[in-house]
Amino acid sequence: MGLTAAAGLFLAACGGLANPEGWSTPSFQNDTLYYFPDRDTLVAVEVDEQGPRTAVWSFPDTALEDERDIDVEAVYGDLVVTDDAIYFAGWEGHVYAVEPEEGRLLWTTHNRISITGSVVGGVLHHDGRLFFGTTEGHFYALEAETGTIAPGWPEEGFTFDKGIWATPVLLGDRIFIGTMTGEVHAISPDDGSPVWADPFESGTGAIPELALIDERLLFVPTLGKTVYLLDPDTGQEAYPSFLTEDWVWTTPAYGDDFAYFGDFAGLIHALDITSGRDRWTFDTGAKVKAGPAIVGDVLVVADREPVVHFIDIDSGERLNAVPLQGAGTVRANVVERGGVAYVLTTNGRLFRAEPDRLAVTEVSITGAPN
């Protein structure tokens, strides 16, 4: 998929984006929160028992010579955080490794590797390698320590029909790749060779996300108003396809044999993965791009208005709804930590949703970029 077509799809999917705006999910690691308060700036924030408090570094730092010319543009995929590095890919088509303690650049593919296309999905980290796809359908493997092409992989990556927007998913000895032609491929992380005899073909539209549910089902949403539950061993449907009212462009929250996710019609589904049927649906009244979070017996959902909904996870009944006035919209997944859920808006504002009080409060972070 060319950049013009990709931009057109973004405009259609995201309600009129004039420029790329990231929706990377905030990531909590021990006592640090890593998130993008701005579409092209990564920030590390100290966390205590009351939540995030003080920004300790930001990347890139234009005062540093080796970071001065970095233009990430926007980050859509989720961060990969290890003890040694934070890895992510930018829309402009480069991958970055940042040191977690000080936030300084370890390496970037910029001016070192020719990557064809933009990157929407995140990177997959496995066995010392990073795997990712591009909007032009190229799938790459890099050495995580150096950012160089992994031995045995072609410089231009393996090529698939049209684009790869979903973050690749790993299970055992196979990587799953979803394409915008509606196919799912399973390949070996060693050399990219096919694992399934044939790819799964949805026939109902592009696949913008992929997720594993309990390591036994592959959750495959499409822009054709259909969700598939695949057997990861065979690539065949484990249950009949599930029809929705509109596009599904998200990953689900999962618990007790139920997958919870929203669609662009504003419906939240509680999908029973043992039968492939809805347990209940809830109408938010607005598009849902962000994945929800489970906190105890409450499902926390943020729609595009944005409004935060607290939903009883058993009955599907709304417990409360809290509008976030003047906060932009919500596209990043909601994240649970310490019995509360965190919601990040496109204006870079971070909110705590507390199911115990059915309340939402804004988190004030000192030193974060505006």
Selected residue with higher pLDDT from 262 and 71 = 262
Over 60: is that where the pLDDT of 3 sits? no
Please report whether residue 88 resides in a domain.
yes
Query: Mean pLDDT over residues 170-193, rounded?
Result: 96
Over 60: is that where the pLDDT of 2 sits? no
pLDDT at 342: 96
Percentage of the chain with pLDDT > 90? 85
Over 50: is that where the pLDDT of 285 sits? yes
pLDDT at 370: 58
Q: Which domain holds residue 100?
A: 3-282
**Per-residue pLDDT tens over the stretch 52-76:** 889 999 999 989 999 989 989 999 9
Q: What is the tally of structural domains in the chain?
A: 1
Over 50: is that where the pLDDT of 40 sits? yes
Please report whether residue 20 resides in a domain.
yes
- Confidence label for 256 from pLDDT (cuts 50, 70 and 90): very high
CA distances from 355 to 26, 285, 314, 342 (A): 19, 21, 15, 11
CA distances from 101 to 35, 45, 109, 214 (A): 14, 11, 21, 32
pLDDT at 154: 95
- List, as one string, the DSSP characters of 144-212: TTT-PBPTTS-TT-EE-SS---SPPEEETTEEEEE-TTSEEEEE-TTT--BSSSS-EE-SS------EE
Please report whether residue 159 resides in a domain.
yes
Please report whether residue 36 resides in a domain.
yes
pLDDT at 182: 97
- Confidence label for 366 from pLDDT (cuts 50, 70 and 90): confident
Please report whether residue 300 resides in a domain.
no
Over 80: is that where the pLDDT of 241 sits? yes
Backbone angles phi, psi at 123, to 5 degrees: -95, 150
Beta bridge partners of 277: 272
CATH number of the domain within which 145 lies: 2.130.10.10
Over 60: is that where the pLDDT of 15 sits? no
Instruction: Give the strand pairing for 217-221 and 211-213.
Output: antiparallel
Over 80: is that where the pLDDT of 144 sits? yes
Please report whether residue 119 resides in a domain.
yes
pLDDT at 20: 55
The answer to pTM > 0.75 is yes
pLDDT at 301: 98
Please report whether residue 321 resides in a domain.
no
Over 60: is that where the pLDDT of 1 sits? no
pLDDT at 4: 36
- Confidence label for 197 from pLDDT (cuts 50, 70 and 90): very high
